[in-house]
Structure 1
Amino acid sequence: MDDECRGAWTLVYKLWFIFIPVLTVFVFTEESTVLASDIASLGDSEPDLIGHKPARRNLHDVAKESTVLVSDITLLGDSETELINHKPARRKLDDVDSSISIDCGIPEDFHYADVKTELHYASDAGFIDTGLNKNISLQYQSETLQRSLMNVRSFPQGKRNCYTIKPAEGKDTVYLIRASFMYGNYDDRDQLPEFELYVGVNSWDSVKFDNASHIVMKEIIHVPLMDSVYVCLLNTGSGTPFISALELRHFHDSSYRTQSRSLLLYKRLDVGSTGEMVRYKDDSYDRIWFPYNMPNCVPFDTPLPIDSLGESDYKLPSRVMKTAVKPLNDRDSLDFDFETGDSTLEFYVYMHFAELEKLQENQSREFDIQINGLPWKNSVVPNYLNSTTIDTRKLVRGTKLSFSISKTSDSSLPPILNAMEMYIVKDSLQAPTDQGDVDAIIKIKSRYAVDKTWQGDPCAPRTCWDGLNCTYTGYDPPRIISLDLSSRGLLGNIDPSFADLRELQYLDLSNNSLTGQLPDFLSELPLLRFLNLTGNKLSGSIPSGLMGRKNTGSLDLRVDKNPDFCQSPPCKKEKNFVVPLVAATVSFLAILLALVVYWRFKRKQPDVKLVVKSHDEEGSLESNNRHFTYSEVVSITNNFQTVIGKGGFGTVYHGYLADGTQVAVKMLSTSSNQGSKQFRTEAQFLMRVHHRNLASFVGYCNEGTNIGLIYEYMANGSLQQHLSDKTKNALSWKERLQIAVDVAHGLEYLHYGCKPPIIHRDVKSANILLNEDLQAKIADFGFSRDFPLENESHLSTAVVGTFGYLDPEYFSSNRLTEKSDVYSFGIVLLELITGRPAILRSHENTHIVDWVSPNLARGDIRSIVDPRLQGSFDTNSVWKALETAMACLPSISIQRPTMTQVLIELKECSTIEIAHDETWRMEGNTFETNSVDPEIEMGPQAR
């Protein structure tokens, strides 16, 4: 044994960090769908694709799906017999840069050309590392079914699985992305799944099915902020996500570029067509055009090609533009409606025109276009055999969009329409992770061959990569603040990429096989306060930069169990058997002396001792947390001058550390036996949990009967104080939603990010603390319990908690599950919405659920919502939050959602409210908002 082994006698405590933050946005868009069972031809007698009605058509709401026939899909790309030899110039899709066609679920390195479209499809193996290849059931396979729908890639593992596509054109370029899905009972369960689809870090759409043969196609025009395009499937707990095909097409011009970064396809109509759908090769961008014929209109066409002398700005297919409609009566206008059902949806509209008739000298065709009775474009004159596109330039919205195309007084011919596109605007509310952090973590992943589940953006959507934790501040990019790579089999030196994670606060590289010197570049991380390198094969000594930060207490550095590492200089390489022997003897005598002193001291003291058992080992609290003497606590609290809280366990005081940091000091009352037990429990869990939405543990005092825990100070007190104190400024609805999201994040971490999971058992507004930025953190783990039984549905334990928040099933049966916390959180959410306590003393001690339920049944939101909000909120957001709260409160626990599901719903509420605020500000308060009219009782709007 040499001198460097002396550090092996230091007691080590591990801290594990496992974080599962979640984000979400929800967007309405229409899905183009295909029924494999429908084998028929489209014609004038068939139901219109979007609900066309005579004269004034009602095109239903956004949720209505367009039904397409499989026979049409299999015929996509068939060339039409041209009546003349000259054809318009069209680029081959194979020659278009960044065109990518992926058949998901076929074997690696396999590729083929589609028989109908001649598009080249490749395996998805090079785009994703997870998932299983499956074939759809034989009963749903047929010769007419498109080949890319015969198989799927299924994702039974993980909440988020992402395809990474790197088109040659990179970021800030317009792409069309299309995802196709057909369930086909591939898993032999005959259970239709539901899941969510994301592009980048923002919501694309939800994927749902009518039956096993239902084909769903989602299409988006997207401008990525990063060079890589991530397409992610999120498991929402309603079935296993899967995908059949994924396609990306590159637009060489900026025709579809808008103020928004994404456009969701709503309708793309080949007006006047009586044939099948049109796509590549006719459309060089591979847009899919649906045939569309109007009653009370006359379809007509031309055998001549359109745009034969050159491509139009939008490169419209000649086959689409060769057909059009006009009114039966030349004096009539073309009128049609779209029932969107949602006034918050915003649209871009594109109408395409081409004159198909050779006009005589005494003939003219000129028309005006109106939307919702307002002029859109006047005096439109289509060009003969050349395309003209009219777009809205500005956003259009309303529960109904009414279009009217009418001829001008100088026109001798009626109006026409050849083709039309409508897109729903999708704002990118969530920013992707900081590019510097992304580059660094990708290098780390590549260098150490870390987990295959590290896919897509590191911090979003909804969940971070396993082992990461990120900070989220409004619209700013998320930053990586915690990285836990313990026990991941890391080999070699510590890579310099770690130093590029500039916001990193926690780094755990313990129990790996890292070798070489401990690099000083880690001292350059300005916010790093915890570095665990225990259990590696490092050599050398602690660099000066890290040693300086360790000595000042700004860095908790752990380097034990590195056999060749020297913790305390001077460090020598000589072999010496005398010194270790002497050291061992001295150490033995010191330990023996300490035991004698402790035994004599113990005889004179009461049996109150704060002892903690961590998840992996046993020991006292004095392990690796900062110890404060009682005299230091007296100094910190200025002789316990300022009381900020009291309970059965004792009193909480406000104080200041030597560096000026504010803290809260909880001192145990010597007369509180139950308090002593709670203290031990709380200390046990504080050793394990580390999350931005859990109150942080600073240190402890443990001298005889003077036992205390020291936490970070939360300047804005408890949520209960804010809601009950009418003298305080009322929290806005947006702030309340963010508090709810923060608490849900914390509980989700306890339930799913800790091993074993933790049940808090006393979730209430008094135990939710707010810092100076109103960030919410869960406190008081005195009643918390581990839930270590992997194969059990519950624990049988004595009932603890707070009346009003207590799970009725747990109260009546002693059956404890994580759903008990879900119930308590539902009560807190009702408190946030109503501004009222769990028990309404002014209503003869009525429980808040019993007070809300009848008002909710009547749709009386005015009576439910906290009157201090004064109607300043989006109605849809409040109703969704109410529905989420009530979903948490069934008396039977299995009927409640998980905290992950609750978090998803709350993030959608927050997204709705943020969009509402942004719209209100952008429009200068000149348009109607969704605030509650104090004179009107409003029920939930369609969503």
Structure 2
Amino acid sequence: MPFHGADLKQISAVEMALLGSFYCVLTLQAALSLAMVHAQDDQSGFISIDCGIAEGSNYTDKKTGINYVSDAGFIESGKNQEILSTYKSNTLDFQLRSLRSFPENSRNCYTLRPKQGKGNRYLIRARFMYGNYDFKGQPPQFDLYLGNDHWSRIHFNVSLEMDYEIIHLTSSDYIHVCLVSIGLGKPFISALEIRLLDSTMYANQLQSLVLFERTNFGTSETLRYADDKYDRIWNPIALSGITNVQTSRPVSIGPSTKEQVPSKVMSTAIFPTNTKNDLLYTWKATSESEEFFMYIYFAEIETVKSNESREFMIYLNGVNWGGPISPVDHTTTTYFTSFFNSSSYELTIGRTQNSTLPPMYNAIELYNAIRLQQRQTEDQDATVMWSIKSTYGIKRNWQGDPCVPNGSVWDGVSCSYNDTYNLRIISMNLSFSGLSGEIAPALANLTMIQSLDLSYNNLTGSVPNFLASLDFLRILNLTGNSFKRPLPSKLLEKAKQGSLALRLGPHLKKCCPKGSCKKNKNKKVVIIVIATVATLFVLSTILVVLWIAKRRQTQDPSIELRKQCFTYSEVQRITDSFNNVIGKGGFGTVFYGLIGDTRVAVKMLSESSAQRYKEFQAEVSLLMSVHHKNITSLVGYCDEGKHKGIIYEYMANGNLGMHLFDESPNVLSWKKRLQIAYDAAQGLEYMHHGCQPPIVHRDVKCTNILLKKNLQAKLADFGLSRAFTTEGDTHVSTIIAGTPGYLDPDYFTTNRLTEKSDVYSFGVVLLELTTGRPAISTDIYIIRWVKSMIEKGSVEDIIDPRIQGEFETNIAWKVVDIAMACVDSSSVERPTMNDVVMDLKKCLKAE
């Protein structure tokens, strides 16, 4: 904001009472009276974070004496960086030399919890210094949010530091400062600071105040802590046509000043060198609706003789705004006002006719007033979520507020948005999250929870009684853990009454000698993990009957396992005597069937395919232990004499190949293709990185990607799959297996099977999805064809022409890049499925 110095501007004195600002101050202050903790000189009200320094680091700043810590304890995403040495001047604050950048995620949040808690007013300051850390010479632009509320748009040049401040009355114990990408470069931050203010400071309003300018006149020195115990930064300004004055005596706080302006700030002031002139201060608003709050601080710091007087008026855009004002000797007086409805402003301080001395002032603060919604998760629920994250070491992208904004709700969490104020968590799905130990007591405080899924973890100990005391809990899934018996009687009673759907998991069953399966009600409920294929099929000893409960986004809720082992006569009834054929292959025939009202697909191994019995065993074994939303679910199997069959959930839309190539009448849209690719990639990622030991599919291709009615994709056909059975294995030596066109050349030449073999096959599938061409057609290999088209430089010639240009060019290029990286001839150069999933997720979001 420019200061135009002391212009020659003579005005007449107008007798006018000071506006009723102080009355407003007192009224609003009474309405906001809260028991608050005063900020102390010992930094007890400070949180000072140096972003980008090593985890666990801390230091005391030599300039200010402020104690800074690493930001590693406040955020999990981002990358530590340093500005270039060219910009590390001796005058640059130490905490601006490092930064944390955020190349991943569109929204990254710091979460802070001041020990003084909610109901307090804080100064929150985010600091930025670009310093060409990324060698691009082009500073990014991005948005700064306070929780779910927009704070400011961040933009700056290469060499200047920028500070963004907001004064905020909190309604929650948690403060979330979020950096949000707007597609104009990667967000970053250099430092983050929170300062507890006194309860009386800036208490004349209900809005939050975004700092526009804080200026200390009459000095060339920047002042902050410890001169200001609240660590406000008071910047000097160089002016012409004015005279600086200062005093060595302390300046006290007057009764009208609640803002605790430091004595050192008030000990300097300015007045026009030509004592007949006025002081002029101008600035521009971004819009006429932008509301300003202005605090002007006066103190007489010169010796005024008995025959002298200093008296002046305040004008805004030529309108008499207040006065006459006479500064009090070495005592601070505050003039406060608010205004809007102009695109530019001119503040004039003019002497009255009775004044023998020129006008003067010591400091000014200008703020933009904004009203924030402050929609946040109820503190009690938020505390539980942070406790759960810490207790179990959950490695999800859990950042910021659990419930807001809607687009960034924590993975696995659902919230109630009916309340007009704080939000409540009503559902939590922690299935397949690697939890171990006992059920955390903190869950007792999720008093509004309706559904809790803890299935398929490594939880042990007793099921706690408090679960029966959660009044709104309607669904509780404890499947796939190792809890002690007995269960709490109150919990079982609620389940018996029907007020709680209690899911406990698979039951131990035996198989009769002739293969018919009967329940044994005297056996305890257990899960038998079959370690090897041989053990699995010693059916005279063990029969596993598994009830599949609702898993985190892994099962179609319509699929319920009646039993895992089926007799041949039962399979005949399910398939209506094998009357409805829906597929054929080298393994045998696939039939449509019904178990009750549930549709299934039954794959029967033909008697002439005895050599495939090992694949049959392998697939059943794998599907017994692997559960994921993008992997076809096992309903059961039959292994009775020469009759071998596998029963799957029914996939109404068949396989991907049926929809993709020229003979298909229905053309898949570009977005749907991306979603199918993303679905299939997630299934492979789970096999590679979510299973212990990791599993290689070994035959990824379009016909082994099945589609549900809504076109959700699931991997299928695991007869060739292999697991790395020894911890630390990086490959398996095996006989070549797979499908021409999808087969990894590294695997083909070395017999060394790795996860990257699946990545190669997936890359071919991704090219098929992109181009609409099969892997091999008329002796033209799809990879060679795409390479030749890339050289021509037009992605439009690569994408399936049936899409008719309904795609975004940059996203299309990115998808082609992902696919070509996957099919790199060197397996070492290929990405992992983790990388592929992240890249496809970004493409899908962008689309």
| Cα offset, 1:441, TM superposition | 1.9
CA distance in 2 between counterparts of 1:224 and 1:210 reads 32
| Cα offset, 1:243, TM superposition | 2.2
The equivalent position to 1:283 in structure 2, one of 222, 228, 240, is 228
Is 1:366 aligned to 2:311, yes or no? yes
Match of 1:401 in 2: 345
Show structure 2 runs of 5+ residues with no match: 10-37, 510-517, 527-538, 546-561, 584-589, 600-628, 634-651, 653-670, 684-706, 716-758, 774-795, 813-838
Is 1:434 aligned to 2:378, yes or no? yes
What secondary structure does 1:446 align onto? Answer: helix
CA distance in 1 between counterparts of 2:408 and 2:113 reads 22
* 1:751-762 equivalence runs, <5 A: none
CA distance in 2 between counterparts of 1:142 and 1:343 reads 39
Q: CA 1:99/1:447 → structure 2, altered by over 3 Å: closer, same or farther?
A: closer
Match of 2:430 in 1: 485
CA distance in 2 between counterparts of 1:536 and 1:363 reads 87
Match of 2:141 in 1: 194
CA distance in 2 between counterparts of 1:120 and 1:390 reads 34
Match of 2:747 in 1: none
In 2, are the aligned partners of 1:302 and 1:322 still within 8 Å (CA)? yes
Match of 1:66 in 2: none
CA distance in 2 between counterparts of 1:624 and 1:460 reads 41
Match of 1:110 in 2: 57
| Cα offset, 1:687, TM superposition | 11
Match of 2:173 in 1: 227
In 2, are the aligned partners of 1:539 and 1:562 still within 8 Å (CA)? no
Q: CA 1:623/1:132 → structure 2, altered by over 3 Å: closer, same or farther?
A: farther
In 2, are the aligned partners of 1:536 and 1:562 still within 8 Å (CA)? no
Deviations 1:113-165 (A, max 9, x none): 33333333333344444444333333333444322122223344444443333
Is 1:498 aligned to 2:443, yes or no? yes
Is 1:324 aligned to 2:273, yes or no? no
Q: CA 1:591/1:504 → structure 2, altered by over 3 Å: closer, same or farther?
A: farther
The letter for the 2-side match of 1:265 is L
The equivalent position to 1:259 in structure 2, one of 184, 201, 205, is 205
The equivalent position to 1:814 in structure 2, one of 803, 825, 838, is 803
Which one has more relative contact order, counting CA pairs under 8 Å at least 6 apart? 1
Q: CA 1:200/1:752 → structure 2, altered by over 3 Å: closer, same or farther?
A: farther
* 1:132-531 equivalence runs, <5 A: 132-188=79-135, 192-211=139-158, 213-260=159-206, 262-273=208-219, 275-295=220-240, 297-307=241-251, 313-327=258-272, 330-392=275-337, 394=338, 396-451=340-395, 453-461=397-405, 462-473=407-418, 475-519=420-464, 521-522=466-467, 524-525=469-470, 528-531=473-476
Superposition TM-score, scaled by structure 1 size: 0.53
The letter for the 2-side match of 1:406 is G
CA distance in 2 between counterparts of 1:200 and 1:281 reads 29
| Cα offset, 1:191, TM superposition | 5.3
The equivalent position to 2:570 in structure 1, one of 594, 602, 606, is 594
Is 1:50 aligned to 2:2, yes or no? yes
| Cα offset, 1:384, TM superposition | 1.7
| Cα offset, 1:421, TM superposition | 0.5
What secondary structure does 1:95 align onto? Answer: coil
CA distance in 2 between counterparts of 1:336 and 1:589 reads 85
What secondary structure does 2:331 align onto? Answer: coil
In 2, are the aligned partners of 1:220 and 1:262 still within 8 Å (CA)? yes
In 2, are the aligned partners of 1:537 and 1:563 still within 8 Å (CA)? no
The equivalent position to 2:504 in structure 1, one of 559, 564, 572, is 559
Match of 2:482 in 1: 537
CA distance in 2 between counterparts of 1:258 and 1:808 reads 64
In 2, are the aligned partners of 1:194 and 1:239 still within 8 Å (CA)? yes
What secondary structure does 2:434 align onto? Answer: coil
Q: CA 1:534/1:191 → structure 2, altered by over 3 Å: closer, same or farther?
A: farther
Match of 1:100 in 2: 47
The letter for the 2-side match of 1:468 is V
Match of 1:71 in 2: none
Q: CA 1:189/1:360 → structure 2, altered by over 3 Å: closer, same or farther?
A: closer
In 2, are the aligned partners of 1:193 and 1:240 still within 8 Å (CA)? yes
In 2, are the aligned partners of 1:92 and 1:281 still within 8 Å (CA)? no
Q: CA 1:811/1:134 → structure 2, altered by over 3 Å: closer, same or farther?
A: closer
Two-structure CA RMSD over aligned residues (Å): 5.1
In 2, are the aligned partners of 1:55 and 1:336 still within 8 Å (CA)? no
Size of the aligned set, in residue pairs, is 595
Larger Rg: 2
Q: CA 1:600/1:92 → structure 2, altered by over 3 Å: closer, same or farther?
A: closer
CA distance in 1 between counterparts of 2:591 and 2:205 reads 59
In 2, are the aligned partners of 1:794 and 1:816 still within 8 Å (CA)? no
In 2, are the aligned partners of 1:174 and 1:254 still within 8 Å (CA)? no
Q: CA 1:816/1:470 → structure 2, altered by over 3 Å: closer, same or farther?
A: farther
Q: CA 1:783/1:379 → structure 2, altered by over 3 Å: closer, same or farther?
A: same
Superposition TM-score, scaled by structure 2 size: 0.59
The letter for the 1-side match of 2:331 is N
Show structure 1 runs of 5+ residues with no match: 1-48, 58-90, 610-617, 628-683, 689-706, 708-745, 759-779, 800-806, 824-893, 903-943
| Cα offset, 1:266, TM superposition | 0.3
In 2, are the aligned partners of 1:102 and 1:246 still within 8 Å (CA)? yes
* 1:68-79 equivalence runs, <5 A: none
Q: CA 1:168/1:132 → structure 2, altered by over 3 Å: closer, same or farther?
A: same
* 1:574-613 equivalence runs, <5 A: 591-600=567-576, 603=579
| Cα offset, 1:340, TM superposition | 0.3
Range moving further from structure 2, 191-200 or 811-820: 811-820
What secondary structure does 1:320 align onto? Answer: helix
Q: CA 1:195/1:412 → structure 2, altered by over 3 Å: closer, same or farther?
A: same
| Cα offset, 1:487, TM superposition | 1.8
What secondary structure does 2:404 align onto? Answer: coil
Q: CA 1:515/1:752 → structure 2, altered by over 3 Å: closer, same or farther?
A: farther
In 2, are the aligned partners of 1:751 and 1:818 still within 8 Å (CA)? no
| Cα offset, 1:377, TM superposition | 2.5
The letter for the 2-side match of 1:487 is F
Range moving further from structure 2, 116-125 or 543-552: 543-552
Deviations 1:708-750 (A, max 9, x none): xxxxxxxxxxxxxxxxxxxxxxxxxxxxxxxxxxxxxx99x97
| Cα offset, 1:424, TM superposition | 1.2
CA distance in 2 between counterparts of 1:193 and 1:531 reads 46
What secondary structure does 1:280 align onto? Answer: coil
* 1:617-766 equivalence runs, <5 A: none
| Cα offset, 1:409, TM superposition | 4.2
CA distance in 1 between counterparts of 2:497 and 2:385 reads 29
| Cα offset, 1:347, TM superposition | 1.8
Q: CA 1:781/1:420 → structure 2, altered by over 3 Å: closer, same or farther?
A: farther
CA distance in 1 between counterparts of 2:544 and 2:376 reads 54
CA distance in 1 between counterparts of 2:375 and 2:191 reads 27
Range moving further from structure 2, 538-547 or 401-410: 538-547
Q: CA 1:620/1:380 → structure 2, altered by over 3 Å: closer, same or farther?
A: farther
The letter for the 2-side match of 1:270 is N
In 1, are the aligned partners of 2:417 and 2:423 still within 8 Å (CA)? yes
Q: CA 1:114/1:625 → structure 2, altered by over 3 Å: closer, same or farther?
A: farther
Match of 1:848 in 2: none
| Cα offset, 1:219, TM superposition | 1.6
Match of 1:122 in 2: 69
Q: CA 1:583/1:201 → structure 2, altered by over 3 Å: closer, same or farther?
A: closer
| Cα offset, 1:549, TM superposition | 6.6
In 2, are the aligned partners of 1:751 and 1:757 still within 8 Å (CA)? no
Q: Percent identity?
A: 35
Is 1:795 aligned to 2:769, yes or no? yes
In 2, are the aligned partners of 1:56 and 1:337 still within 8 Å (CA)? no
